[in-house]
Amino acid sequence: MRGKHGFTIVEMLVATILLGVGIFATLGAISVAVQATGSADFYQKAAVLAQRHISQLETNPERLAPGEQSGDFGDEYVGYRWTQRIASSEFRSLYQVTIIIKQGVEDNPKRREFTTYLRYDATQETAEREERSQKKSSDGAKKSGGGGNAPRS
């Protein structure tokens, strides 16, 4: 009987177990890859949304006042929420701005926090506006013929 070729039951069991371990490992790797892709997508969107929010504050610096506000991004980014914390810093006219972007359920949302510093000097901006206004009014007076080169009759 030594001439028979084939597999024994033990060899078949070992091969089946190895195949099962390989399949479960592959499924686990796929699951981790899908989760990593989802996290990367959230972090990328959170960075874009935070930058957009900070840009809005930079273009409207009069909104820089210490305190906390929150909101969402509407229908464009459903499920994404923001919290804005503005605090005075040790330097005059410099504010610490923290934007927190959350996505998901309230109990355990994904969360990303961004902190930057923005400068806003209301007195300086008021002086700059007055200076521009005076310059425009003096330019308007020159154009309207306020000079002394009128023809004589």
Query: Would you give per-residue pLDDT tens digits along the chain (153 residues)?
Result: 565 777 789 999 999 999 999 999 999 999 999 999 988 999 999 999 999 999 999 888 888 888 999 999 888 888 899 999 999 888 888 999 999 999 987 777 889 999 999 988 766 665 566 677 777 766 665 555 554 454 454
Assigned domain for 71 exists: yes
Q: What is the DSSP letter of 4?
A: -
Assigned domain for 74 exists: yes
Half-sphere exposure of 116 (CA within 13 A, CB side): 15
pTM above 0.85?
no
| Token pair for 66 | 């210490």
Q: Report pLDDT for 127.
A: 59
Q: Which domain holds residue 109?
A: 9-123
Strand-pair category, 67-73 with 77-88: antiparallel
Assigned domain for 136 exists: no
Assigned domain for 131 exists: no
Q: How many domains does the chain have?
A: 1
First to last CA, the chain: 138
CATH number assigned to the domain comprising residue 26:
3.30.1300
What are residue 67's DSSP bridge partners? 86
Assigned domain for 45 exists: yes
